Structure 1
Amino acid sequence: MPRPDLERPPDFERKFNIFPDTGLALGQTCQSGIWTLSGKISSFEMIPGNDACGKYIYSKAYCPAGKQLVSGGYILSKWSGGSGWNSPDLSMPAAAENAWQIYTGGGVTGGTCMRAIAWCAKN
């Protein structure tokens, strides 16, 4: 049974803040002991970057104009198995470019591909 004290009011809107150092969205903030949100968020979209296959390759996924980077990550788009790595050495925002980036590093063997993923939204 739902608890009335935990239900959202009818005018509830999801909102977020942008963290200045990374350009990523922040969740709620506490203001005077009350958790609040600061901006309306809508139109989520997942943007894939280029395939990064092999050693020392970058992949970047750019948010389209009018959308802000909210989060990101990667997908393993091809893996041949064996002893090759199956995750990037780096996965982080490229805030100045409104993008998410990954770097395969030196442990990736032939046949392994990764792709950056950017989660973008309107603010």
Structure 2
Amino acid sequence: MFVFKSRRPFEAPVTVDVPKADGSFDSHTFIGKFIVLPDDERRSLSENAGGGDKGAKAVLDASLIGWGADLTDESGHPLPFSPENKAALLGDTAIFLALNVALATGLIGKDAVRAKN
């Protein structure tokens, strides 16, 4: 049985592919904590931000509600969840893209995301 709950939280792995000088990538994964936004709210956030990357960033800003202790700072300490740290993550292209994939995958499943792309 499925019980509907508005704004339900979920966790999803976020895999960030960090480019290296030689053209290869290092992959790193942390747990992202998200909330499902009602469709009208998600659309409004995206449209009010102008759509595209700005719209996606607005949706992520509202949807990302935390992360696991496996996301650390340069010293290896867990990165605290704060508006400043969230803005820094959303401002990093590789992390922004990884968060988008994690949010979509968490909502509709990895096979559906692969089929869409």
Measured against the shorter chain, the TM-score band is under 0.3
Query: Greater relative contact order (Cα 8 A, min sep 6): structure 1 or 2?
Result: 1
TM-score (norm 2): 0.27
Q: From the two aligned structures, give the one with the greater strand fraction.
A: 1
TM-score (normalised: structure 1):
0.26
More helix as a share of residues: 2
